[in-house]
Amino acid sequence: MKQEKRKRTKRMWVLGIGALYFLIVAAATVYSQTGYLQNLPVAVIGTAEQGVVPNSALVQTPSGVLLNYVEQQDGPWGKQYVLRQKLVFHTQPVDESHTFVSDAMDLEEPIALFVSTEPVYDGMEVCLSEESVEEWDAPIGN
């Protein structure tokens, strides 16, 4: 009789721990798909038209000029988009708001034309604006 009661108690503990684990995973999934995504900075992506990019896609640093682009990765709950920065060497102003960047023509990933927060840094997770999502699969330069 005692042994049967111990088994029942042990089963209840295991079921309780399993239910708690399920609730934690469900809560994390809901949060990652709602609240977490809403708090990410928004990035507008586009292409470099013959190497010309808006100045908002560039960051001046003491070590040189960085070009912002977005890299798509597989995350724990689907696709995630990460802002990357590439040091560029050959730049030439085109007008007040655009710069020619020779390295932009060789870049396969889309360029981050605008990011809704400052400062931006390499490895920062972003969400794409609605118009950017439609352009994601479009080839660079089109």
Residues 46, 112 contacting (CB under 8 angstroms): no
pLDDT digit string, tens, across residues 18-28: 999 999 998 88
Q: Could you state, in order of their start, the residue ranges of all structural domains in the chain? A: 1-39, 41-135
Residues 127, 40 contacting (CB under 8 angstroms): yes
Name residues whose C-beta falls within 8 Å of residue 99's C-beta, 6 or more positions apart in sequence: 52, 53, 54, 55, 58, 91, 92, 93
pLDDT digit string, tens, across residues 76-130: 777 889 999 999 988 889 888 899 998 888 888 999 988 888 888 999 999 888 6
C-alpha distances out from residue 126 to 1, 3, 35, 102, 129, Å: 59, 55, 14, 25, 9
- CATH label, 41-135, candidates 1.10.40.60, 3.40.50.1100, 3.40.640.10, 2.40.420.20: 2.40.420.20
pLDDT, mean over the chain: 84
Residue type, 41: P
pTM of the complete model beyond 0.85 = no
